[in-house]
Structure 1
Amino acid sequence: MENFVLVGKAKTVFRLIELKAKYEEAAKANKKQDKKKRK
C-alpha cells in the first residue's frame, strides 16, 4: 500500500513539473511576440 501512495505522489509531482515547464515555455514565447510587436 505504501508503494502505491509513493507512486501516486511521484506522478503528481511529475505532472506539476511538466505543467511548470510548459508555462515557462509559453511565457518565453509571449515575451518574444511582445518584442516583435513593439518594433
Structure 2
Amino acid sequence: MANKYRAEIIALEIMPDHVHVLVEVDPQLGIHRLVK
C-alpha cells in the first residue's frame, strides 16, 4: 500500500487495541487518501 501511494512507513507500533503509524507521504497525495 505504501508503495502504491509513494509513502514511507517510518515507525509502526501495534498495541492490543490500536496502532501507531508514523508515515512520510507525498504532500501532493494527501494523508486522507493513504488512510482511506
Please tell me whether Structure 1 or Structure 2 has the larger radius of gyration of its CA atoms: 1
| Structure richer in strand, relative to its length | 2
TM-score between the two structures when normalised by the length of structure 1: 0.18
TM-score between the two structures when normalised by the length of structure 2: 0.19
